[in-house]
């Protein structure tokens, strides 16, 4: 397995080198030889495991070499992805259009980071990816690369070198590449530990309902097992235990993917506003992400001061838009990170969730840093809130509105109360 500690190597043939984001599938396997034929460059395949499942990294590495790559860089980045990318998204309650937990957008910057590292390690001048010219990912990859390594060029074989699907299948068969070319999957699927994205095929007709074969991370919420109660412990906004058992961020997401997924939690069907201006129908599964965000939001309700919480909602939205739009490494994103991290100082405690029938419902919360004061909130005896203060507070709070209303009346602009009669009812 190649990693960042391997000594840098350069081409002995004098050819330029291209690092390719490699998935092990048909398109990127064909792209290895296709890039070589079209550009004359040597190709280094870069495979990054962010929890997408499937084949072993060593198998993928060998396939890349068998398909013509001169080097193969593979990295198990699951913990890195969970800790450095998913957890900031959790702290920001990142839901694009209030629903989508930026599943694909989150994985791109960690892949970009490894692509840039591999380019330096192997003396490459260009980074290649398998994105089309219609989606968001081309922006995320290329803006990320230019942010980390402005000297590197970017290449998209599908977009720039006419590597269409039918061309890829024909190329693979003619060159007898060790890759399956006959499987007919109607969907385009991208998945990682934070969730799963499904698009294309019959889903492009936005009237068509998803069928059962669309889903993999979640079971049918219409036929759930018995309700599952889970207690999530947070420390400064990050889950550190589930039902009292210590967990890493990766383990927390994986465990809630399993338990919330069994209850059908986290299914999302949305017409989404892409960065490139297209509206696109997307289906997502993100059981762990949705369960964790639900719990985290409620713990923030308990521990974050009101004005700070109100302001944070706008920051969260802007943070999410930046990440969705491929601006993970931007100055504004870094500045917002500082604010969000500061708000998490007291987001420590436990949240109890009931997982059942497609829903994650908060049923309890407790925290040593809570701003909830029972004696102030209660309406029973023992109430420590001095209600006599309320009258003066209302007088001062409403003073500006009162003055403005008096001015409106003086200049004939008072609110029209209508001419209808008022009726009262005792019951």
Domain count, the chain: 2
- pLDDT tens digit sequence for 352-377: 999 999 999 999 999 999 999 988 88
Is 205 annotated as catalytic? no
Grouping H, G, I as helix, E, B as strand and the rest as coil, residue 287 is helix
**Spatial distance between the Cα atoms of 360 and 352, rounded to a whole number of angstroms:** 10
Q: Is 342 annotated as a binding residue?
A: no
- The reported pTM is 0.91
Given 27, 49, 219, 316, the catalytic residue:
27
Q: Is 177 annotated as a binding residue?
A: no
Q: Is 277 annotated as a binding residue?
A: no
DSSP label at 421?
A: P
**Spatial distance between the Cα atoms of 125 and 133, rounded to a whole number of angstroms:** 22
Q: What is the pLDDT of residue 352?
A: 98
Contact predicate 82/248, CB 8 Å: yes
Contact predicate 282/237, CB 8 Å: no
Domain boundary among 326, 354, 374: 374
Q: Is 96 annotated as a binding residue?
A: no
Task: Specify the range with the lowest mean pLDDT, choosing from 172-186, 294-308, 385-399.
Answer: 172-186
Residue 94 has pLDDT above 50, yes or no: yes
**Spatial distance between the Cα atoms of 129 and 106, rounded to a whole number of angstroms:** 16
Is 66 annotated as catalytic? no
Q: Are residues 204 and 177 part of one domain? A: no
Residue 47 has pLDDT above 80, yes or no: yes
Given 188, 220, 243, 407, the catalytic residue:
188
Q: What is the pLDDT of residue 163?
A: 87
| Overall average pLDDT of the 315-324 stretch | 98
CB atoms within 10 A of CB 77: 21
Residue 107 has pLDDT above 90, yes or no: yes
Q: Is 54 annotated as a binding residue?
A: no
Q: Are residues 227 and 135 part of one domain? A: no
Is 219 annotated as catalytic? no
What residue numbers bound the domain in which 206 lies?
A: 195-304+346-374
| Overall average pLDDT of the 90-117 stretch | 98
Q: Are residues 71 and 157 part of one domain? A: yes
Q: What is the pLDDT of residue 421?
A: 59
The values of phi and psi at residue 334, to 5°, are: -65, -40
**Spatial distance between the Cα atoms of 200 and 154, rounded to a whole number of angstroms:** 26
**423 band by pLDDT with thresholds 50, 70 and 90:** low
**7 band by pLDDT with thresholds 50, 70 and 90:** very low
Tell me how long the chain is. Answer: 427
Residue 270 has pLDDT above 60, yes or no: yes
Grouping H, G, I as helix, E, B as strand and the rest as coil, residue 190 is strand
CATH number at residue 206: 3.90.1260.10
Q: Are residues 168 and 85 part of one domain? A: yes
Burial 13-49 (b: 16+ CB within 10 A, else e): eeeebbbbbbbbbbbbbbbbbbbbeebebbbbbbbbb
Q: Which two tokens stand for residue 282?
A: 């997307």
Question: Which of these, 43, 293, 83, 259, lies nearest to 163 by C-alpha position?
Answer: 43
Q: Kindly state whether residue 315 falls inside one of the protein's structural domains.
A: no
CA angle in degrees (0–180, nearest 5) for 131-108-211: 70
Q: Is 93 annotated as a binding residue?
A: no
**420 band by pLDDT with thresholds 50, 70 and 90:** low
Q: Is 23 annotated as a binding residue?
A: yes
Given 61, 63, 78, 108, the catalytic residue:
108
Given 49, 137, 219, 316, the catalytic residue:
137
Q: What is the pLDDT of residue 115?
A: 98
Is 151 annotated as catalytic? no
């Amino acid at each position: 397995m190649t990693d960042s500690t391997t000594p840098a190597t350069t081409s002995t043939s004098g050819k330029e080198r291209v690092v390719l984001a490699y998935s092990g599938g048909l398109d990127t396997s064909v792209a290895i030889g296709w890039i070589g034929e079209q550009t004359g460059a040597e190709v280094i395949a870069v495979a990054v495991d962010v929890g997408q499942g499937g084949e072993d990294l060593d198998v993928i590495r060998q396939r890349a070499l068998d398909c013509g790559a001169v080097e193969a860089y593979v990295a198990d980045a699951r913990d890195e992805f969970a800790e450095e990318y998913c957890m900031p998204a959790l702290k920001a309650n990142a839901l694009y259009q209030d629903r989508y937990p930026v599943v694909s957008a989150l994985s791109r910057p960690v892949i970009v980071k490894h692509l840039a590292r591999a380019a330096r390690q192997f003396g490459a001048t260009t980074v290649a990816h398998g994105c089309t010219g219609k989606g968001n990912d081309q922006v995320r990859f290329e803006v990320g690369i230019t942010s980390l390594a402005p000297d590197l060029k970017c290449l998209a074989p599908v977009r720039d070198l006419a590597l269409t699907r039918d061309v890829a299948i024909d190329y693979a068969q003619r060159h007898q590449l060790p890759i399956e070319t006959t499987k007919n999957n109607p969907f385009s699927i991208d998945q990682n530990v934070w969730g799963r994205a499904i698009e294309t095929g019959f889903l492009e007709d936005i009237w068509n309902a998803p069928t059962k074969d669309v889903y993999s991370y979640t079971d049918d919420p219409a036929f759930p097992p018995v309700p599952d109660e889970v207690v999530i412990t947070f420390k400064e906004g990050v889950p550190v235990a589930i039902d009292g058992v210590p967990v890493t961020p990766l383990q927390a997401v994986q465990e809630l993917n399993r338990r919330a997924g069994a209850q059908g939690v986290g299914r999302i069907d949305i017409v989404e506003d892409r960065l490139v201006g297209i509206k696109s129908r997307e289906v997502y599964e993100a059981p762990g992400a949705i369960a964790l965000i639900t719990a985290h939001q409620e713990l923030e309700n308990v521990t974050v001061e009101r004005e700070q919480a109100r302001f944070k909602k706008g920051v969260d939205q802007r943070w999410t838009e930046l990440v969705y739009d491929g601006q993970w490494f931007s100055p504004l994103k870094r500045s917002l990170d500082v604010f969000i991290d500061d708000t998490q100082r007291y987001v420590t405690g436990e949240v109890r969730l009931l997982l059942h029938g497609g829903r994650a419902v908060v049923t309890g919360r407790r925290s040593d840093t809570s701003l909830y004061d029972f004696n102030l909130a209660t309406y029973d005896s023992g109430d420590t809130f001095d209600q006599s203060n309320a009258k003066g507070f209302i007088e001062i709070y409403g003073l500006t509105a009162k003055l403005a209303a008096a001015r409106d009346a003086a200049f004939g602009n008072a609110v029209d109360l209508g001419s209808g009669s008022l009726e009262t009812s005792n019951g």
